[in-house]
Amino acid sequence: MGTGGPSPKVERAAWPSFLRGKSSEEILPRLSEGDPLHLREGSARRLREIWFLLDPDRVYLRALAVCADAVPCEEPPADLSAWTQGKIDLAIQQLVSKDLDAELAHPELLTDEEKNFPLLTDCLMLEPDLVRAASVAFNSLEPLPRRAFFELLVVGRELEEVIEAGPWDRDGLYEAVQTALATLGLDVLPEPPEDRPPEKGKKR
C-alpha cells in the first residue's frame, strides 16, 4: 500500500550558469574567460593519452567552439566532466580530419594556424611549411608507433619503464619509435644495443 505522501522529485541535470545561453555566440565568451571547463589542460592531457600530434592550443580553441556550439542543441549531461572530454575528443577528430582533407586537396596552401606548432618547429626544428604534412602522416599511423613517440619523446619516460609498461620488447619499441620518427623525417636513432650477459668475475 502507498503511504499517500508526495513522490520524491527526481532532480534533472542542469547546465552550470556559465553554459546557459541561447546561442554559441553568447556562451563562447564565458567559456573563454577563466576556462571554467579546464579545456586547455584537458586538451593537452588528452593528446598525450590518445597520442595524436596536434598543437594543444589549437585543440583548445577548437574545443571551445565545439562546446559552445553543442550547449544550445543538447540536454545537460549528468556527468559534465565526461561530456567535456567527449567534446575534446570531437575537437581532436575534427582537426585530424580537417588537416588530412586540406593536405590531400592543397598541400601547398597552409594557414598560419596550421604552421604554428612549437613542438615541431622549435623543439624538432621542422620548417613551418612542413608541419601539417608531418602531423598528418604521424596521425595516420597505427596507435603503437604514436604511443612510442609520445611516451619517449613527449612525456619523457625512461626507456625501461616504457618497455615494461608496453606491449613490446626493446626491439619492438625501437621499431615503433622509428616508424613514428620517419613521418617527421627524423628516423636516425642508432640501433638498440644487444643485451649481453656480464663477463665472469665482473659485477653488472
Radius of gyration of the chain (CA): 23
pLDDT in 10s for each residue of the chain, 204 residues = 555 555 555 567 899 999 998 899 999 999 999 999 999 999 999 999 999 999 999 999 999 999 999 999 999 999 999 999 999 999 999 999 999 999 999 999 999 999 999 999 999 999 999 999 999 999 999 999 999 999 999 999 999 999 999 999 999 999 999 999 999 998 665 555 555 444 444 444
Half-sphere exposure of 75 (CA within 13 A, CB side): 4
Contact, 64 vs 32, CB < 8 A?
yes
Chain centre to alpha carbon of residue 135: 12
The stretches of 56-189 forming alpha helices (DSSP H) are 56-70, 80-105, 112-115, 118, 131-139, 143-149, 159-165, 170-182
d(CA 180, CA 5): 65
Would you give the end-to-end CA distance of the chain in angstroms?
78
pTM of the complete model: 0.85
The mean pLDDT value of the chain amounts to: 89
d(CA 118, CA 115): 9
Per residue in 117-169, pLDDT (tens digit) is: 999 999 999 999 999 999 999 999 999 999 999 999 999 999 999 999 999 99
Contact, 154 vs 117, CB < 8 A?
no
